[in-house]
Structure 1
Amino acid sequence: MKSIDPADLAMKENYKILTGTIVPRPIAFVTSVAEDATLNGAPFSYFNIVSADPPMISIAVQRNPSTGKMKDTSRNAAAKGEFVVHITDEDNVEKANETSASVAADVSEVEMTGLKTVSSTKVSIPALQNAKVRFECKVEKIVPLGGTEENPSCDLLIGRIVHYHLDEKVYRDNGHSDYRKLKPVSRLAGNDYAKLGELFSLERPK
């Protein structure tokens, strides 16, 4: 058993251990709108459920390591108070990956990759047409974390879901969804991703 103190490692080494062992990770494909109306799109695999009552999700967005500034998604969410999360699946993962390219803040990754959009129901942020699941979110809280109080290293976005959109093939009834038909894609380490593999069930003890 290898025993390591994270304080002895560089940030990149900690990153490699975390992303190589906390797997698979679901990928949030997020749209947000800048103050100049640029529609931003970006994928994030530091993503999960926070609560079901009310329904909330979390996305950790790392700050720019060289400048310490908020990335577009965090800055836009803070300014507008809204964003849309799409579940990354086999049909949109390549486009999601394309939007992770480093571009200027006034360049729309959504337009750059040719993604089509639809209007949202309860937020002002456009959504992606080719996603089987999307969550319209209002910002519940943004928590700066890591680094120092003056220069945090990331922003934890907590979004309260105010509207769901689920493909009819994915949604069954009474809140149940068919993840086999969703065909979600998860993030591993490096350039690796994973599809749904072998499934098994375990009954919870009573």
Structure 2
Amino acid sequence: MLSIKPEELTERDNYKLLIGSIIPRPVAVVTSLSEEGVLNIAPFSYFNIVTSNPPIVSLAIQRKSGVMKDTARNILAKKEAVIHIADEENIQNINETAANLESTESELSRTTFTMTQGAVVSVPLIDELSIKMEVSLYEHVPIKTENTVTADLLLLKVETYHVKEELYHQGRIDPDKLNPMSRLAGNDYAALGKRVTLKRPD
């Protein structure tokens, strides 16, 4: 077995090792608004649950050459966003939102998505996606390497859930009807595959 120290790798090689090992990863499709009112849509797979009491999710957004991404900047400025869960039906449109656009351009123009105003936040929701969470900024944790901020860890508190009725049964989400997509490495995504059900030991 190989033993590799992170400090012996380049940043890019660390990235490739991590995204190839920690799979599959859930994909958050995040909408946010700039201070100028430009709608930003972007997918992120450094995303997960932190706690259910209160309901908080995490979103880690890498900086590029020390520059904060539009989504992080928007959330820090407006203190709100909407997180949508990526699904197979919409993955082509979702992939289009990963394009590198200027902050004055909206990714919406690259998709056929339609939008609805949020109930609690000022940020619009994507109609076509089945699960949406209106969130507020709970905490921002700058991630540093040698005193340089390289990423922004955002803890986001869920203010309102929106779930398509056909997915929701007795407080549970039907995974087959949601049909979520997860992120692998490179250009690859994965749909739900074989499931194994195991009862937890007493």
Structure-2-length-normalised TM-score: 0.98
Higher strand residue share: 2
Decide which moves more: 164-173 or 106-115: 106-115
What does residue 180 of structure 1 align with?
176
Matched, 1:110 2:124: no
Matched, 1:19 2:15: no
Taking the TM superposition and a 5 Å limit, the aligned residue runs for 1:88-103 are 88-103=86-101
| Structure 2: distance between partners of 1:197 and 1:2 | 29
| Structure 1: distance between partners of 2:95 and 2:144 | 26
Query: How large is the Cα RMSD of the aligned pairs?
Result: 0.9
Question: Of 173, 177, 197, which aligns to 2:193?
Answer: 197
For this pair of structures, how many residues does the alignment match?
202
What does residue 153 of structure 1 align with?
150
Q: Which runs of 5 or more residues in structure 1 are unaligned?
A: none
Amino acid across the alignment from 1:139? L
Q: Which runs of 5 or more residues in structure 2 are unaligned?
A: none
Structure-1-length-normalised TM-score: 0.96
Q: What is the CA-CA distance between 1:148 and the residue it aligns to?
A: 3.5
> Stretches of 4+ moved more than 4 A in 1?
none
Which SS does the other structure have where 1:152 is aligned? Answer: strand
| Structure 1: distance between partners of 2:132 and 2:143 | 27
Matched, 1:6 2:6: yes
Identity %: 45
Amino acid across the alignment from 1:197? G
Q: What is the CA-CA distance between 1:85 and the residue it aligns to?
A: 0.2
| Structure 2: distance between partners of 1:44 and 1:126 | 18
